[in-house]
Structures are given as C-alpha cells and as structure tokens.
Structure 1
Amino acid sequence: MKRLAVSPTTTPEFIEWWGRRINDNIPGPSQGDSQATGKYLRVVPSKLEIIRQDFERINSELEKKIKQMEEEKMNLRLDIYV
C-alpha cells in the first residue's frame, strides 16, 4: 500500500488529486458487467454441503427400508393370527 507523507508543502489539492489517482485504478461495478458475469457464475457446494446431501439421501433410503420392514412385520403377524 502506498503512503503519502504529509508535510507543510503538501496542499489539499495535491492530497485530493492523489486520492483520485489511486482510486481511479480500482474498477467500480457497472450494471452491464454484473449482468453479463452473472450468467457465467455457478454455485459450487462446499464439502460440508455435499456430506449433508449424502446424509439426507442415505437417511431417506433407510427410512423407506424401515417402513417396508414394518409393513412386512405386520403382514407376518396377520398371517400368524389367521
């Protein structure tokens, strides 16, 4: 980062010019650029998000298996009573 030493010979006009000169090198956001770049951006999930999605998928599969086994258990009980 560049620093400006303020001395008695430094005028307010020079300080203002120096600030503009540095800030002119920083591109500001413009409406056209942000819309054009938006179509090239994509969301990349984090490792934690991927693990959470895998957990939810496996959990739902296990819940389905549990329901299926409970139904089979009920059917076997009904067969015994009949």
Structure 2
Amino acid sequence: TLRKHLPYIKNSFQYTYNNGRIEGINNKIKVLNRIAYGYRNFNHYKNRIRLHFKFKPVAKKSIISDENKSHSRVA
C-alpha cells in the first residue's frame, strides 16, 4: 500500500496545498447540525452557519421594493 501511494505522499511534501481547512469547515457544520437537531427553516440554519464562521448573514431581497424602484424611475 505504501509503494502504491508513494508518489502522492511525495507530492504532499513538495506542494503546500491540502484540503484540511475545508474538512474542518465541513466537520463544524456537521457538529452544528447535531447540536441543532434540525432547524424548521433552512434560512435560519444557513444563517447560523454563517454566524459561526463570522460571515455576514444574507438578507432577503424584497421583490415588491425592487418593483417599486423600477416604477418610480419610469414615472
């Protein structure tokens, strides 16, 4: 097995790229999922993940306000 994977092992020492950070993020999301026991609203769950990683929550855009803006420009 070691001989079979030797070129890949050598590459891991030669290059600095790895997927450790992504694996850590996936693990934290799975832990949040276990703690939450499932959210009723997917947007709340998504915002909780963003909050945990200190990202800004995404605000919903109002379709009505966008329509009013386009009408006010025409008039």
Sort the TM-score into its range (normalised by shorter chain).
0.3 to 0.5
- Flag the structure with more relative contact order, 1 or 2, with Cα contacts below 8 A and sequence separation at least 6: 2
Task: Indicate the structure (1 or 2) with the bigger Cα radius of gyration.
Answer: 1
TM-score w.r.t. length of structure 2: 0.32
